[in-house]
Structure formats: C-alpha cells, structure tokens
Amino acid sequence: MGFWYFLMLFIGIALLVVGLRNKDVSRSVKIVSMSLVIGVLFIVVSLIMLMPGSSEVVGQLLQRN
C-alpha cells in the first residue's frame, strides 16, 4: 500500500510543479488551477496515509472494526 501513497505523492508534486510553471498562460487558467488543487490534494492525502496508524483512523471513519 505504501507504494501507491508514494505514487500519489509524486503525482501530486508533478501536478503542483506543472501548475506553478504555467501560471502565466492565460488560455489554460482553468487547467492550471485545477492541477494545482489536485496536486495539493494528492500530496496531503498521501502524507496523511503514510503516517503510522492511519489505517485505523480510516477504518474508524468508514465504520469498520
């Protein structure tokens, strides 16, 4: 499972870099802003899921025991 979280982290970083590099392109402002938002979201989710004990927290949120 850790592999997929690292993959999400790297995809999020890549989307963040792409969004920051193309910020002055007026034609694709919507694409750039969405890649920034999705990149930050991927980074946050992957870092939360890589923390110890995150599987128990997710299990409690999903009402699983």
CA–CA distance, 54 with 2 (Å, rounded to integer): 12
Q: Dump pLDDT digits (tens) for 43-59.
A: 888 888 888 888 788 78
pLDDT of residue 1: 60
Q: DSSP assignment of 18-56, as one string?
A: HHHHTTT-STTHHHHHHHHHHHHHHHHHHHHHTSTTHHH
Q: Dump pLDDT digits (tens) for 6-43.
A: 888 888 888 777 777 766 666 567 777 777 888 888 88
Domain ranges of the chain: 1-57
* pTM reported for the whole predicted model: 0.58
